[in-house]
Amino acid sequence: MDANKEVLFLHGGASTHFFQVPMNFLTKGTKAAYLDCGVWGTKAIKEAKIYGDVDVVASSKDKNYTYIPAGFHIPNDAAYFHYTTNNTIEGTQMHHIPDASVPLIADMSSDILSREMDFNKFAFIYAGAQKNIGAAGVNLVVADRSFLAKGNKGIPSMMDYTVHVENGSMLNTPPVFAIYVCMLTLRWLKKNGGIQAIESANNKKAALLYDTLDTNSIFTLPVEKKDRSLMNAVFTITDPSLEALFLKKCESESMIGIKGHRNVGGFRVSLYNALPLSSVQVITDLMNDFANQYGS
């Protein structure tokens, strides 16, 4: 990452930035471009419309957000282009960085530090810590200094990113324990080979899980294969009457949190950095046993 980037640790969750980003970089009479690929993109778009015009360049709402749109055009006169790199609820992920002539802003809350990326292509990145960085209650913000300099003035100090930079992330009392946990997590990541090593491990975990789901016809994967998330695998059971039984089986083996988000139903298995391959092996063994017993 180049030296022109500022790294901040700020209070709150990623949703704070849904309105903080447009407050800093969007005004009436200007427009921002947004990609709508799920709940978090929709929420960000809603907040941005308060501050200026929003051009939704593409949306996958027509198919219940089960794919990532391709071939969309990002207008050259947009103040910025915003997208969510990984959609935790819908189980989709952007596997490439869009080409744009305008500043790129990304919500990387659920897949930051899980794979190698050219972070220098972004003008602004924000991420809740609670998936791959540390404990809930703190956000990581990475901002290009030149982009920050072009931001809006005359906004409340607490909402102004430049003020947070000037105060070294300590405009108010920082969430000290959450930041301490981030430090420990980053040390753990570095000790285990860094992002390159963790990406290799994550790819193996995702491959094992998706291969198991694809092999057993009792399970259905709604997301287009090319857009599947390496962090959050969502799936259903072909026979809905078996859903409760599958959940009960998982819980009996101390596997909790498998139930899908209320917005989409079904099931979801999250594969964040801290989850070892051995844990994925355990649940895939359970899936195979369940499929052998109840599949056709």
How many CA atoms within 13 Å lie on the side-chain side of 246? Answer: 30
Please give the pLDDT value at position 130: 94
Fold of 5-190: Aspartate Aminotransferase; domain 2 (3.40.640)
User: pLDDT digits over 89-129, tens only?
Assistant: 999 999 999 999 999 999 999 999 999 999 999 999 999 99
Distance CA 62, CA 221 (A): 17
Domains 5-190 and 194-294 share a fold: no
Strand partners, 125: 106, 142
Cα angle for residues 36, 41, 42 (degrees, 5° grid): 85
pLDDT for residue 263 is more than 90: no
Strands (E), 18-176: 31-36, 53-59, 81-84, 86-87, 92-93, 104-107, 124-128, 138-144
Predicted confidence (pLDDT) at residue 28 exceeds the cutoff of 90? no
Write the pLDDT tens digit of every residue in 183-242.
999 999 999 999 999 999 999 999 999 999 999 999 999 999 999 999 999 999 999 999
Q: Where are the domains of the chain?
A: 5-190, 194-294
Tell me if residue 107 is catalytic: yes
The yes-or-no verdict on residue 38 having pLDDT over 70 is yes
Question: Other C-beta atoms within 10 Å of 264: how many?
Answer: 19
Catalytic entry in 36, 107, 111, 160: 107
Structure token digits, residue 40 = 């978090």
Residue 3: which pLDDT band, with cuts at 50, 70 and 90? Answer: confident
Q: Are 266 and 236 in contact (CB under 8 A)?
A: yes
What DSSP letter does each residue of 154-192 carry, written as one string?
Answer: SS-GGG-HHHHHHTTT-SS---HHHHHHHHHHHHHHHHT
Q: Is the pLDDT of residue 141 over 90?
A: yes
- Bridge partners, 126 (sequence order): 107, 141
131 part of the active site: yes
Q: For residue 292, what pLDDT is reported?
A: 95
Catalytic pick from 36, 111, 131, 227?
131
User: What's the pLDDT score for residue 1?
Assistant: 65
How big is the chain, counted in residues? 296
Among candidates 84, 121, 117, 129, which has minimal Cα distance to 104? 121
Residue tagged 């990387």 (tokens)? 108
- Catalytic residue flag (residue 153): no
d(CA 257, CA 270): 9
Q: Which of 40, 144, 205, 227 is catalytic?
A: 40
Using a pLDDT cut of 70, give the percent of the chain over it.
99
CATH class of 194-294: alpha beta
In which band, very low, low, confident or very high, does the pLDDT at 64 lie, cut at 50, 70 and 90? very high
How deeply is 119 buried, as exposed, middle or buried, from its count of CB atoms within 10 A (0-12, 13-18, 19+)? middle
Residues 29-46, mean pLDDT to the nearest whole number: 96
